[in-house]
Structure 1
Amino acid sequence: MSREPQIAVTVVRRFDASPERVFDAWLDPATVGLWLFATKTGEVVRVEVDPRVGGSFVIVDRRDGEDVAHTGAYLEIDRPRRLVFDFWVDKLPDHPSRVSVDIVPLPAGCELTLTQEFSAEMAEYKERSRVGWGKLLDALAATLA
């Protein structure tokens, strides 16, 4: 990912589940396919996860007959505290972003802070990304319930 000026989006969510359960939901293919990049009107048709630093993931959601691939490359995996990956959508392959997921234990459950950084030229996607991540984290909470 280039180091040009960055735009950041941050979303914070509390979960009733343990930090380990929340963290593992990002890397387990069976669980990932239930919530990450899945849409209510789409169908996840492909999930590949190689959960190691240097590994990658591909999640394909079929929307209105069109496949949308979400791809990432893992940069940091520190279970159950931190996950960092470069991320891009096949429709915008020249515009990767970096996603950091930080999980802090609470007396009951945990708090997750997700930050997505992308180039300033993609600023028009800032609010859409914030809303999208919020919906995905809601889906994660529902999956873990």
Structure 2
Amino acid sequence: MVTSTIVRVQRAFACTAEAVYDAWLDPHLARRFWFATPPSGEIVRCDIEPGVNGRFTIVDRRPTEADPESHIEVEHTGRFLQLDRPRRIAFRFGLPQFQSHETAVIIDIEPQGDGCELTLRHDLGIADDETLGMLERMEQGWTTILANLEQALKG
């Protein structure tokens, strides 16, 4: 039996499910949270084509781990598989510089009173040493992205 490695993060938001959903597809807002690495990282490109089979490319410039004075640009790419406003966004996700394959991400947004709760699941693929080594880093990354999303929604 083949086992996948799944990253799962959740966050409650004090705004509507529609506002949270729309933020993922709006390039002007998305550049404030998708893959942004504060305090010294920045998004240098944010292209989003909303729609099933629409693509995105987001490039962030961040300090290298070895030398905080030098920077690397990291490209994040994807293709939307499912868009069901305001409840679900599913997409293929790639890091061309670091991985030869794409992975799958599903974002579910549940309205709750005046707010909503977002659950993100990222299927890293077959559970092997490489994906298990990425698990904690990916969980931390998505947790940071959701915290950045909350700040972006606050304006």
Q: Please identify the structure whose Cα radius of gyration is greater.
A: 2
Local SS of the residue matching 1:85 = strand
TM-score (norm 1): 0.93
Deviation readout 1:93-127 (Å, 9 max, x if unpaired): 31321100000001120000000001223221011
- Please name the residue that 2:68 is paired with: none
- Please name the residue that 1:10 is paired with: 8
- Please name the residue that 1:107 is paired with: 113
Q: Structure 1 vs Structure 2: percent identity of aligned residues? A: 42
Look up the equivalent residue of 1:43 and give its one-letter code.
Answer: E
Q: Which runs of 5+ in 2 are unaligned?
A: 64-70
Alignment pair present for 1:83 and 2:82:
no
Alignment pair present for 1:130 and 2:136:
no
C-alpha separation in 2, matches of 1:29 and 1:79: 17
Deviation readout 1:49-83 (Å, 9 max, x if unpaired): 01110111000001233211011110000000000
Q: What aligned pairs does 1:1-145 form with structure 2 within 5 A after superposition?
A: 5-40=3-38, 41-64=40-63, 65-119=71-125, 120-121=127-128, 122-145=131-154
Look up the equivalent residue of 1:48 and give its one-letter code.
Answer: D
Counting matched residue pairs gives: 142
Local SS of the residue matching 1:26 = helix
Look up the equivalent residue of 2:145 and give its one-letter code.
Answer: L
